[in-house]
Structure 1
Amino acid sequence: MKDMIRLSARQYEDLLKLVYLGNFLVNNYRSDRPVSRFDDLESYLFALAKDYGLAQALDMDAETGTVYPSREFSQTEELNEFIDDFIDNSFWDELVQRLTGRDLNRKHGQEAVEAMNWEQLREIEEPIYKRYASEVEKHGLENLEIINRRAS
């Protein structure tokens, strides 16, 4: 037997926000191959929004009957701020991680790095990571340059 979850209108609105943000994370860049089960779940949950007094949160495709988040819902300052913060933090973290990995592989070789246990790796990785993290925190991209090391 399935248990019912009782939610206040506020909790349901927050659930819709989480579902929207999660589906955005998974499917935003997958226009050619979306994870349809997440689209379907989002559509299902948004279709119930009227029951919680949140009709403004949904729009419907007249041809297919598919329910999706309305522009009014999805373009709120709050959701845009969450998305922008995620993208910004992901960018900087990924940049620092990749630069750190590159330097480790250059200095020790990829095979040696892959053979290290977690403690060994952390010991040599941490100072490199901290150096890059400090640099991008202080200066952003200002001091980042592309140098062509390959002779043409």
Structure 2
Amino acid sequence: MHLRFTESELATLIQMVSLAANVASVNQKPGAEQGIAAFEDLENKILERASHAGFGEIIEFDEEKQAHRVTLEYEGNSFFQECFEEFREESFWEEMVIRLADRDLIRSIGLPLWEKMSEQERRSRTQDIEKRYWEEFTKHGIERVAVIHPPGEG
């Protein structure tokens, strides 16, 4: 298969494969190594070809990993890094809100009933709680979050 890209399309492809490889590398689940390696191999192949097609100033060879990568300077100012950071930020807050709302629901109805509920039922029951947490975190971040240790643990 042969694909032809404009310079602009190739620049976008470089960012896309770099973003995908960055996201994949965060996966710590057992058995993910093969999938991560496939992403990294494709990234390396595309970046190597792109470096010979006029993008050498933003692509370097990492001796330690024996693979091509975008330069740290380019990555730091890139749209794909902005996307990755925004994704991580939003994922953090969304997960925090859902977990806290689920914790509150479990405290209210008990774990056995919570476990019998579907995800849709849980979200329906925690909608108001989630909204309250979103409002709190939007206004104050984690400033007012505190860990309360049980007696004798801290």
Q: For the superposition of Structure 1 and Structure 2, which TM-score range results when normalised by the shorter chain?
A: 0.7 to 0.9
State the match for 1:141 in structure 2.
142
How many residues are paired up? 147
TM-score when normalising by structure 2: 0.80
Q: What stretches of structure 2 of length at least 5 have no aligned partner?
A: none
- DSSP-derived class of the 1:68 partner: strand
Amino acid at match of 1:59: E
Query: Contact conserved, 1:56 with 1:73, CA < 8 A, in 2?
Result: no
Identity, % of aligned positions: 27
Deviation at 1:5, TM superposition (A): 2.9
Deviation at 1:65, TM superposition (A): 5.2
The RMSD of aligned alpha carbons is 2.5
Query: Contact conserved, 1:12 with 1:52, CA < 8 A, in 2?
Result: no
State the match for 1:19 in structure 2.
17
Deviation at 1:24, TM superposition (A): 0.9
Query: Contact conserved, 1:46 with 1:57, CA < 8 A, in 2?
Result: no
**C-alpha distance 146-70 of structure 1, shift in aligned 2 (>3 A):** same
**C-alpha distance 118-85 of structure 1, shift in aligned 2 (>3 A):** closer
TM-score when normalising by structure 1: 0.81
**C-alpha distance 79-118 of structure 1, shift in aligned 2 (>3 A):** closer
- Structure 2: distance between partners of 1:135 and 1:62: 46
